[in-house]
Structure 1
Amino acid sequence: MKITSIELAILESPYDYGMADDASDSRGPKYALIVKVSTDEGIVGIADCDSHPHVMKALIDAPRYLKSFSEGLKYAVIGENPFEYDKIWTNMYASSYYQGRRGAAIHAMSAIDIAIWDIIGKASGQPVGVMLGARNHERIKAYASTLFRRTPEAMKEAVRKYRALGYRAMKFGWGAVAEDPRRVVALVAAAREEAGDGMDIMVDGMWTPDVKLAIRLVKELEQYGVFFVEEPLHADNLEGYRKLANAVDVRIACGEQLGGLYEYKQLIAEGDIDIIQPDVSRAGGLTETRRLVAMAEQAGKLIVPHAWTSDILTAASLHLNAYQKHPLFQEFCTNDTPLSRDLVAEPLKLDGEGYVAVPAGPGLGVELDDEAVRKYTVDALKVTL
């Protein structure tokens, strides 16, 4: 089997990112990237990528500058056997040396890698989790992932909404708290008052450069039983994370902005946080995050994958969670946008206990809704050699 082409579709949402006061929920990213990797046997793998689609397009389709050293990722992928995923990953990494092999390059690599694993699963008639090496779990507890509301009463209303939808865990991030981190305590207090003791609550997006302020706020949040606080500091502030994690009892989480094992190794060693949050579509795909699971387990850390785009990424993250021995949560985006749940033929859903089933079909176990993809596509490209 050989890879014959890579197809890219850039989708545009009719909504801008954010949380309007009169909106029922948050609005997700303005753009999305759908990647299809085709083979000479007619098997097509799919992926999406939580990065800037127009930048991803350039990284994949760029002309050759220096062979196997600085060129578009297509040169490392097309013509290869998808079952040699490790070889392809290594060659993609080498092809990006001069234009920067971390950051955006790893994002583009991640999308291709996810699609390759989808091919591997489909060709083998097995779910991706099995092909990773273990399907240890059939379902994962989901948390509603949304933005902070602006008032305590609006927070209570949001808790009532997500509880009625079946969630038993929720995470509020950014929004009003990003504008002023000091607002977080009153808003979380209102959420806990409405939720009672039967709901896990997580916090995201304070993102302050002030480590002492972060320590004070997280300590105040402890009384409300917050399960974890995500990225209260900038991702590069590893010394600040170490000080924060060692000063509080609440679990500290970070990692969605990182890519590749080198950066996660540094986060573990220098930041000493409790929960690592790789985004499979940015951290190096399933090939690299599979390795990260082993690294995290050896370091005594937990992994909760970041997943805030479509059900394609959610499915990939579910398979990574199923591979873990002790998964905690599946992030389940609640965005009110067609680029979230509408892009697959059968959207993922919660069961009656607040869990999401790990897809059981071959590959990722989800298929594109081609009509929806066509409806929102504003730029498309088929890459061959």
Structure 2
Amino acid sequence: MKITAIELDILESPYEYGMADDASDSRGPKYALLVRVRTDEGIVGIADCDSHPHVMKALIDAPRYLKAFSEGLKYAVIGENPFEYDKIWANMYQSAFYQGRRGAAIHAMSAIDIAIWDIIGKAAGQPVSVMLGARNHERIKAYASTLFRRTPEAMKEAVRKYRSLGYRAMKFGWGVVTEDPRRVVPLVAAARKEAGNDMDIMVDGMWTPDVKLAIQLVKELEQYGVFFVEEPLHSDNLEGYRKLSNAVNARIACGEQLGGLYEYKQLIAEADIDIIQPDVSRAGGLTETRKLVTMAEQAGKLIIPHAWTSDVLTAASLHLNAYQKHPLFQEFCTNDTPLSRDLVLEPLRLDADGYVAVPSGPGLGVALDEAAVRKYSVDALAVTV
């Protein structure tokens, strides 16, 4: 089997990013990128990439500048056997040498890699988690991933909403607490009061440069039993994360903005956080995050994948979670946008216990709703060499 082409679809939401009011969910990203990798046997792998679609398109389709040093990723992929995923990954990394192997380049590599694993599963007639080497779990506890509301009463209303939808865990992030981190404590206090003790609550996005303020706020949040505090500091402040982690009892989480094992190795060694949050579509795809699971286990760290876009990325994250021995949560985005749940024929759903089933069909186990893709597509490109 050989890879013959890469197809890219840039999708545009009719909504702007953000929340219409305190009763609503985020409208989600304005744009989305779908990647299809085609083979000479008619098997097509799909992926979603949580990065800037127009930048991803350029990285994949760029003409050759220097062979194997600076060229579009297509040159490292087309013509290769998808079962040689390690070889393809290494070749893509090398091909992006001069335009920056980490960051945006790894995002584009990640999307291609996910689609390749989808091909591998479909060719074998097995779910991706089985092809990764272990399907240890059939369902994963989901948490509603949403933005902070502006008032304590709106936070209580949000808790009631997610509980009624079947969630047993929720994460509030960004918004007003990024504008003023000190607002986080009364908002979380209101959420805990409404939730009682039978729901997990997580906090995201204070993102302050002030380490001592972060320590103070996390200590105050501990009284409300938060399961973890995500990105209370800027992601590059590794020394700050170490100081914070050593000063508090709450679990500290970080990692959605990193790419590749080198950056995660540095995060583990220097920041000493508790929970690593790779986004499969940014961190290097399933090839790299599969290795990260082993690295994290050996370091005594936990992994909770970040997943904020469509059900295609959520499905890939579920397979990574199923591969883990001790997964904790599946981030389940509550975005009110057609680019989230509408892109697949059978959207992922919570069960009565607040869990999401790991797709059991071949490959990722989700199929694109081509009518929805066509409806929102603003730019489609077939990439060949």
Interval of TM-score (by shorter of Structure 1 and Structure 2)? over 0.9
Q: CA deviation at 1:119?
A: 0.1
Is the 8 Å Cα contact of residues 19 and 175 (structure 1) preserved in structure 2?
Answer: no
- Percent identity between matched residues is 89
**Deviation per residue, 1:16-48 (Å, 9 max, x gap):** 111232552111011000000000000000000
Shift of 1:113: 0.1
1:192 alignment partner in structure 2: 192
Letter in 2 for 1:366: V
The range that moved more, 13-22 or 306-315, is: 13-22
1:149 and 2:153 aligned: no
**1:10 is matched with which residue?**
10
Q: Please list, as runs of the form range in 1=range in 2, the aligned pairs for 1:17-166 lying within 5 A after superposition.
A: 17-21=17-21, 24-166=24-166
Alignment of 1:346-357 (within 5 A): 346-357=346-357
Per the alignment, residue 316 of structure 1 pairs with: 316
Q: What letter is aligned with 2:253?
A: A
Taking the aligned partners of 1:24 and 1:72, their CA distance within structure 2 comes to 40
Quote the residue 2:251 is aligned against. Answer: 251
Structure 2: how far apart are the matches of 1:140 and 1:167? 12
Cα shift at 1:15:
1.0
CA distance in 2, matches of 1:114, 1:198: 35
Answering whether residue 228 of structure 2 is matched by residue 228 of structure 1, we say yes
2:22·2:150 contact (CA, 8 Å) conserved in 1?
Answer: no
Q: Is the 8 A contact 2:201 2:225 kept in 1?
A: yes
Confirm whether residue 358 of structure 1 aligns to residue 363 of structure 2: no
Aligned to 1:375: 375
Supply the AA of the counterpart residue of 1:91: N
Aligned twin of 1:242: 242
Q: Aligned partners of 1:44, 1:127: CA distance in 2, in Å?
A: 15
With normalisation by structure 1, the TM-score equals: 1.00
Conserved 8 A contact 2:77-2:92: yes
The alignment partner of 2:223 has SS state of: helix
Give the Cα separation in 1 of the matches to 2:147 and 2:18.
8
**Secondary structure class of the residue paired with 1:226:** coil
Structure 2 SS opposite 1:108: helix
Q: Following the alignment from structure 1 to structure 2, what is the Cα–Cα distance between the partners of residues 85 and 237?
A: 33
Structure 2 distance, partners of 1:35, 1:144, is 26
Matched, 1:298 2:298: yes
Q: Secondary structure of 2:172's partner?
A: strand
Q: Alpha carbons of 1:8 and 1:23: their partners in 2 closer, same or farther (altered >3 Å)?
A: farther
Deviations 1:74-93 (CA, angstroms, capped at 9, x unpaired)? 00000000000000000000
Distance 1:371 1:296 in 2: 40
RMSD of aligned alpha carbons? 0.5
What secondary structure, in the 3-state scheme, does the structure 1 residue paired with 2:227 have? strand
**Aligned partners of 1:352 and 1:132: how far apart in 2?**
28
> In structure 2, the residue corresponding to 1:360 is in which secondary structure?
coil
Counterpart of 1:263, as a letter, is E
User: Contact conserved, 2:13 with 2:31, CA < 8 A, in 1?
Assistant: yes
| Amino acid in the other structure paired with 2:45 | G
Tell me if structure 2 keeps the 8 A contact 1:19–1:149. no
Structure 1: gaps of 5 or more residues: none
One-letter amino acid matched to 2:61: D
Report if aligned partners of 1:31, 1:53 keep a CA contact under 8 Å in 2.
yes
| Distance of 1:299 and 1:20 partners within structure 2 | 42
Deviations along 1:209-247, one digit per CA (max 9) or x if unpaired, are 000000000000000000000000000000000000000
Deviation sequence 1:335-361 (CA, Å, 0-9, x none): 000000000000000000000000000
Q: Which amino acid aligns with 1:29?
A: P
Contact 1:321 1:330 in 2 (8 A): yes
Q: Matches of 1:23 and 1:374 in 2, distance apart?
A: 30
Pairs aligned (count): 385
Residue in structure 2 matched with residue 266 of structure 1 by the alignment: 266
